[in-house]
Amino acid sequence: MKRAKVNQNINLKEYSDIWIIGEQREGKIHPVTIELIGEGKKLAKGIDNKVVVVVAGYEIDEEINKLLYYGVDKIIYISSPLLKNFSTDGYASSISRLILERKPEIVLVGATSIGRDIGPRIAAKVGTGLTADCTKLDIDKEDGKLLQTRPAFGGNLMATIICPKNRPQMATVRPGVMKKAAHVDNPSGYVEVVEADITEVDIKAKVVKILKSSKKTVDLTEAKIIVSGGRGVKGPEGFELIKAFAEKLGGEVGASRACVDSGWIDSMHQVGQTGTTVRPEIYFACGISGAIQHLAGMSDSKYIVAINTDPTAPIFKVCDFGIVGDLKKVIPAMIEEVERNKEFEI
């Protein structure tokens, strides 16, 4: 395996283009890919670069072509039967070999379970650094470097990190953080199909069987309405009221980390810095104080409604509508109101 040395003396001028590592699961493109394309297009304007999406897989031509309609300049489709199912070795090796050969300036990866797995491995294989879980990306107007901002010290301050000596500049971004690229009617980009530079021996782990979880999964990133409960719900039974309200509105249930840590609700419901980043049309924060780490995951919601007994709770500083009151009284009254106004729709 070719492995570059860190701090090598590289010619930075040889590097160009912004690469998005596109993610597919069972042949379906993950929404984070569209979000990264949106961000890549924004960054590309600052350094006059092309936006290229790289997707590894097999027999997914139709999905690949759909990506052109997000206005990318090019898609590199690494196609091989060996890449039909995700494997850390297969995906990280084939993508890093392409990076070493083609020299992109910036590489963005979704901070999903797959992205978190292959991102650091690719960075190590190509001899560069990686900033994980960025919440903001920008281009330095003076020298064109990528400014990678992420929470540090438990979310109490934001650190902006640069990669001055190595290339590519690599960052992961969590789903739901960046805005999706807009659809274009007449795409001008094209697809280049390349063969994977790997063989069976490169893939040490073999997929024997794929077993689906029987647990109902929650997709908070795509939800238009989220009703979240915090420590103010007082226990697991308090989530019954939160669930009833969410159901009435056709929304999903979210939670603060305090509730997840207490075992009141599954971690897939956690919103925040170490949970999911969400941007629904309406976010109801019920019995949530508004700690900075919670706000990091939901402050981009279109409307925030807070219900809290404490009028000095920080959540009231960020909400659009605040109700000072006991959630056990306020939520049933709101459910009743929704029942009266059956035409409630987002």
Question: By the 8 A CB rule, do 79 and 194 touch?
Answer: yes
CB atoms < 10 A from the CB of 60, how many? Answer: 21
Applying CB under 6 A, among 231, 248, 269, 279 the residue interacting with ligand FAD is 231
Does 272 participate in binding ligand FAD (rule CB under 6 A)?
A: yes
Using the minimum distance from each CB to ligand FAD, give the nearer residue, 16 or 293.
293
Place of tokens 């040395």: 5
| Structure-block tokens of residue 131 | 């900033």
Applying CB under 6 A, among 88, 160, 267, 309 the residue interacting with ligand FAD is 309
Helix 113-126 and helix 88-102, axial crossing angle in degrees, nearest 10: 50
Q: What is the distance between the alpha carbons of residues 49 and 20, in angstroms, rounded to a whole number?
A: 13
Does 274 participate in binding ligand FAD (rule CB under 6 A)?
A: yes
Question: By the 8 A CB rule, do 323 and 330 touch?
Answer: yes
Using the minimum distance from each CB to ligand FAD, give the nearer residue, 225 or 331.
331
Q: Between β-strands 169-173 and 106-110, what pairing exists: parallel, antiparallel or unpaired?
A: parallel
CB atoms < 10 A from the CB of 214, how many? Answer: 5
Does 308 participate in binding ligand FAD (rule CB under 6 A)?
A: yes
Question: By the 8 A CB rule, do 35 and 55 touch?
Answer: no
Applying CB under 6 A, among 38, 168, 297, 322 the residue interacting with ligand FAD is 297
Applying CB under 6 A, among 54, 307, 319, 334 the residue interacting with ligand FAD is 307
- Residue of closest CB approach to ligand FAD: 272
**Has 271 been labeled as part of a binding site?**
yes
Segment interacting with ligand FAD, rule: CB under 6 A, options 36-44, 54-62, 215-223, 303-311: 303-311
Q: Which residues bind ligand FAD (CB under 6 A)?
A: 154-155, 230-232, 256-259, 270, 272-275, 287-289, 291, 293-294, 297, 307-310, 313, 326-328
